[in-house]
Amino acid sequence: MKALNNKKFITLAAALSLMSFGAYHKQEAPTQEQTSAQRTPQMELLGKIIPGTAPKKEKDVLMTDPAMKFKWGMNGSTAADISTNLAWSISRGSKDIIVAVIDTGIDVNHPDIKNNLWKNPGETGLDKNGKDKATNGIDDDGNGFVDDVHGWNFVANNHNLEDNHGHGTHIAGIVGAEGDNGIGISGVAPKVSIMVLKYYDPKAKFNDNLGNTIKSIEYANKMGAKIINYSGGGLEFSRREYNAIKESREKGILFVAAAGNERSNSDIHNYFPADYNLDNIISVTAINQQAKVLKSSNYGKESVHIAAPGEDIFSLLPGGRYGQMTGTSQATAFVSGVAALVFANNNSFDYKQVRKQILITSDEIEGLRQKTKYSGKLNSYAALAIQDAIPANGLMAAENLDFKSPANEDPAAQSNTGSENIRSLSSIVTAINESVKEVENKN
């Protein structure tokens, strides 16, 4: 990847060369699961690379990081903005909230996120011999992984989290780039702990994407994640993957999944894991600055839950750099960031309440009626501001927020009751937003 000051565009051909995962390197004796279900990393095209700007000196205003002007999904400049400035007046997140990002790794030394990386308490500090647990070559916490300080590389089966693509660093930055540090940008959750789980590497001779995905989910389940962010997927149902995410649900983990970039109606052609019939999943599609679903994005009136910014999203890149990417992966990271804010602001909330909070308080948009189940665009401020309006046991029964089950799954009991409540509450949120805009305009 070229340096930022080259101001290059990465062409489709170049992107496809990076995405050589399409021709999976086959094992000599693939398992039945591997032949029936694959997971394709959603490595979106890298668009315009925008040079960084000089840091500002003033830090009095909330989140004044100098490159925030490039983040149209968060800076109040478009119809698809998710109102983070208002949300941050309520919560900036918490380091106690762990978001597992299952992706291509991360630049652990990037100055805009290194302070927000999760630290495994069992692999930090000194061991009995006075050596640093992070580098002593010992599985100090006995979890089966040696020196997994910030996470694990399931491609190479080691603790080297180097991002050889850029996608993982970009996604992690959207979720939780450090805020108000005077450089670069802020993530949606400026205070958070990012657990890095690497499942794909374009430089690897072999990538068992599905197997690595499942191992990553199991690690997150075991090591205390509250949210799992996953950008990949495939058209085939995987029982092992389904069971891993079901275990996530049992652990109280919210699973935020990309709806996919196949230009497809997911109601007709399921995309997994986003379409598993589990009530801890949020399926996310991508919208542009006009709040319209991208032509490349999957959609579905029953299967896709919410829309979030996903076109030309500015975030981190390896080497301490910044740039833009496009796709449902980016949109998914926005939702994971808001989920982290909601969890941080409500210690007693479980995954069901956080999920409802995000879906119920989304902005109703006419153009999303046939594209998402709740016709909604993500609104981080509303998700935090109107929490007193939602009872401790949630607004609706969990099954009312579920979606259609895969053909080879037993359909869960579902009903349409509560849909009017969703719409009426959405109207309240819209009214709140309009009132806020009126005040801002008067000032």
Active-site entry in 167, 186, 201, 312: 167
C-beta separation of 323 from 314 below 8 A: yes
248, 329, 362, 426: which one is catalytic?
329
Residue 116: per-residue pLDDT: 98
pLDDT of residue 433: 40
What was the pLDDT predicted at 40? Answer: 65
Written as one string, the DSSP assignment of 113-125 is TGGGB---GGGSS
pLDDT at 22: 27
Residue 291 tokens read as: 């709040």
Q: How far apart are CA 241 and CA 387, in angstroms?
A: 33
From the candidates 103, 147, 148, 279, which is the catalytic residue?
Answer: 103
Provide the residue-wise pLDDT of the chain in tens; the chain has 443 residues.
333 333 222 222 223 222 322 222 222 233 444 434 666 666 554 333 334 433 333 232 345 778 877 888 787 778 888 988 889 989 999 999 999 999 999 999 999 999 999 999 998 999 899 999 898 899 888 999 999 999 999 999 999 999 999 999 999 999 999 988 888 999 999 999 999 999 999 999 888 999 999 999 999 999 999 999 999 999 999 999 999 999 999 999 999 999 998 888 988 999 999 999 999 999 999 999 998 999 999 999 888 999 999 999 999 999 999 999 999 999 999 999 999 999 999 999 999 999 999 999 998 888 888 888 887 899 999 999 986 544 433 333 333 444 333 443 443 333 332 322 332 333 333 333 433 333 334 33
Residue length of the chain:
443
Question: Is the domain 47-442 a CATH 3.40.50.200 member?
Answer: yes
b/e map 373-386, b = 16+ CB within 10 Å: bbbbbbbbbbbbbb
Annotated catalytic residue 264: no
Q: How far apart are CA 64 and CA 113, in angstroms?
A: 16
329 noted as active-site residue: yes
In the residue annotation, 216 being an active-site residue is answered as no
How do the domains of the chain map onto residue ranges?
A: 47-442
Q: Is the dihedral of CA 228, 230, 236, 240 positive or negative?
A: negative
SS3 readout for 294-349:
CCCCCECCCCCCEEEECCCEEEEECCCEEEEECCHHHHHHHHHHHHHHHHHHCCCC
Phi, psi of 363 (to 5 degrees): -75, 125
